[in-house]
Structure formats: structure tokens, C-alpha cells
Chain A
Amino acid sequence: MAKTILIIDDSRTVRQQVGIVLSEAGYEVLEASDGLDGAEKIAANEELSMVICDVNMPRMNGIEMVSFVKKEPKNANLLVLMLTTEGQPSLIAQAKAAGAKGWIVKPFKPDLLLATVRKLAGAP
């Protein structure tokens, strides 16, 4: 059974871009449109191998979402990769402190995204 990755981004275009890269590589893909939707999907899907998450989103931003879901002990080992237009050290430090495992700045290179996902989550 293929590994499942949740993509959280308020841009449908970005969700599709990332989804194409991951599904063509053999991963199963789920989508969420903001941090709150993402937290709900994480709670409802216990078999997630990884979450790829934007930062600037309505309702709940990506770093708030990571902090929120990491309070649940069952999510302690959940891999979270931030994928965002932001590149500031202070935000990256916040994401790391919240429990994220990596950070990629958009626009992303498909090969680099896939290599990062494989390094963190393993092959599909």
C-alpha cells in the first residue's frame, strides 16, 4: 500500500502542482485547503506518512496548525514539511520549534521537492 501524504495549501493550483509530483512518484495524496481543514484531516487519517503545509493561510496558518496537531501525542512522529513563499529565519525557527522537519521556498523545483519527501518519508 502506497504512503499517503496530506497537502495543505489554500491555493488549489499549488495543491495540484504538488499532487501531480507526488502521485506520479507513487504516493497517495490527500488535500486540505487551510490549517483548520488540515488539522481535521490529520485527526481523521491515522495512516498519514507526511504532511506538506503552507504557512500563510486563512482560518489557521501553517505554523499554528503544526503546533496544534503536535500537542496530540499520537502525532509526535508525524513528519511535516513546510512549503511556502516565506524564507525568513524567524519563521523557519518557529516552524522548527513547533515540530516541522523541513522547509522549502516556493516556487518549488519538482525534483527537489520529491528528493526532500523521499529523504524524510522514504520511498512510496
Chain B
Amino acid sequence: MHASEILDLRALVEDAVRQALPSCGIPIGEPFDPDDAFDTLDTTEQLVAFMGFTGPVLRGTLALVAPLDIMRGSYPLLLKDRACSVFDVFDWTGEVANHLLAKAKSNLASRGVTIEASTPRVMLAQQPRVTRSVQGTICSTCFASGYSWIKVWFDAIAPDDQPVFGSSLAEHVVLSAGDAVIF
């Protein structure tokens, strides 16, 4: 993957984060490099949601890392009056990762890149660290949220001998959150 493609990919993912997380009730600030956050010893409990994806050109993994308290605070208003166990928040975190990857998938499709996603897997961890699998193939970003931050890793691998992005689809009109269509 070329450096310019990595930059474009990162911009697409950051755009997806900016759209998907606030629509799920999670306010975020401007992105910064997660490496800047590595040095801080954060002992709060973190939820880590993973989703795999694959396509004709691009394949990889999305990881969403967020403090348990932020995810509990964003649990849907409709359900907040009811008992909310930590497993409900696990489930909600997986759904947020699903929203995020769906948005990234739409953004990629508008650039001629198709991917199919797995279902999410969520874990609870303290001080999680994510290693860079192969230098240059990872798109990673971190967004401030309240007094903490949410990290998003988008590991993406593509063959070096073919371009990642195809031609834009002129007729590509994607429905957005809350849109409805009756056939």
C-alpha cells in the first residue's frame, strides 16, 4: 500500500469515527496519534471491540478501545431506566463497533473499495496495548472523549502491486443513520 493510500484510508476511517460515534451518543474531540496516549498509565477498565473485514483488495481488522464508563454513559437512553449489566454494555460496544465499521464500509464503497465485515467480539481489559502488525499497513487514530479517549485501530493490508482505491461510483447514494425506505 502506498503512503498516499494510507493517508486517504486514515482520513476515511477518521471521517467514519466522527460520524458514527456521535450518532451513538459518544461525543469526541479532534483525533491524535494513539502513540501519544501509550505513555500514560491508564488503569481504568477498557472495552475492546474487534471486527474483521475482507474484500477483493483490502482486508484487516477494526479495533475500538473505549473506557467502560464512556460506553456505559452512552448506553441508549431508551433503555437506561432498565437494569444495565456490564454484559449489556459489552453488547452495546459491539453494536457501536458495528456502526463504525458500517460507516467505514460506506466511505470505502464511495471510493470503489468493497469489504465484508465479521460480527463483533468484545473483551474487557485493563491497560490494553495493540501492537502494529506490519509497519505501514496500519491506520490508527485516537479521539478525546470527556476526560479520557477512545482509540480506533484500522489494520489494513492490500497487495503492493495494485491500487487500493478504484473509481468512484457516480450513482453511489448511501442511506444515513435514521433514514428509511419502503419498497
Contact = CB atoms under 8 A, between A and B. Distances in A.
A12 interface: yes
Contacts, number: 96
The contact size tier of chain A is 35 or more
A107 B102 contact: no
The prevalent SS among residues of B at the interface is mixed
A119 B34 CA distance: 47
B177 A92 contact: no
Contacts of A17: 76, 78-79
B91 A109 contact: no
28 contacts: A10-B119, A11-B91, A13-B76, A14-B95, A20-B78, A56-B98, A56-B117, A84-B102, A85-B101, A85-B103, A86-B102, A86-B106, A87-B176, A89-B174, A100-B183, A102-B180, A102-B182, A104-B179, A105-B177, A106-B99, A106-B177, A107-B76, A107-B177, A107-B178, A109-B178, A110-B78, A113-B180, A116-B180
Contacts of A84: 102
Given A11-B91, A13-B91, A107 B78 contact: no
Interface string A89-110: 1001000100011111111111
- Best-surrounded residue of A12, A58, A105 (most CB of chain B within 10 A): A105
A13 B72 CA distance: 12
Nearest to A113: B180
A105 B178 contact: yes
A104 B180 CA distance: 4
Given A89-B171, A116-B180, 15 more contacts: A11-B91, A11-B94, A11-B95, A12-B91, A13-B79, A13-B91, A13-B92, A17-B79, A84-B102, A87-B102, A101-B182, A102-B181, A103-B175, A105-B180, A107-B76
